[in-house]
Amino acid sequence: MLVIFAFALSSCSSIKDAVTNAERLQWKLGSVSGMSVAGINLSGVSGFSNINPLDIVKITSAFSSGQLPANFTLNLLAKNPEGSGGSPNSSDAIRALNWRLLIDNVETIKGDISSPITIPGVGQTATIPLSMSVDLLQFFKNQGLQSLVGLALGIGGSNGSPARLSLKIKPTVDTFLGPFTYPGEITIIDKEFRGRN
């Protein structure tokens, strides 16, 4: 009985530490990688005029058919800042992370993580890759082909950045009493780390 009791206390302590770490987390948009439009890799391209003519034909064909799919990975950074409270140990505590992606303040797609997130210990930062698949033509109907490709290049081209993106997240954390979902969304940008407050 004593062994079982000690194990239960240890488990409860571990969960408590994980929850404390999760509550301390600060979030920021990191890099964008693997940008492709209509299946054409644009991650190393700096401008529309630098795209291979054959690739332009493929992108134009997709645009003419009424769709312009862009696929990329948005790397979300989660930092457990230095300071009092929390634990130095990493742990799996966030079981869901509902997110909504905004491009130029236009809401586009939404999703969730496919597996629990490992919460970094105090003083550590974790990178969480989120796979994005957005039909640019669906959300930016009034823009032409070059403008939409320019948008993709501005996000994930060779000179791109996540500055035109923001992410609204709502984490769900495992607790003693079951899952707890944050009461409000956190808006994540690339300029600074942001937390619940």
24 has pLDDT over 70:
yes
Domain hosting 104: range is 2-188
4 has pLDDT over 50:
no
DSSP state of 193: -
163 has pLDDT over 80:
yes
Query: Is 194 contained in some domain?
Result: no
> What are the tens digits of pLDDT across the range 85-130?
788 888 778 899 999 999 999 999 999 998 888 888 999 999 999 9
| Whole-number Å distance between alpha carbons of 143 and 68 | 11
Global pTM reads: 0.87
Query: Is 140 contained in some domain?
Result: yes
Write the CATH number for 49: 2.60.40
Answer for the pair 18, 175: CB distance below 8 angstroms, yes or no: no
Q: How high does pLDDT run on average in the chain? A: 89
Query: Is 97 contained in some domain?
Result: yes
Query: Is 195 contained in some domain?
Result: no
Query: Is 111 contained in some domain?
Result: yes
Query: Is 101 contained in some domain?
Result: yes
Query: Is 197 contained in some domain?
Result: no
Greater model confidence, 87 or 162? 162
Range scoring the smallest mean pLDDT among 25-29, 40-44, 49-53, 177-181:
177-181
| Whole-number Å distance between alpha carbons of 107 and 101 | 6
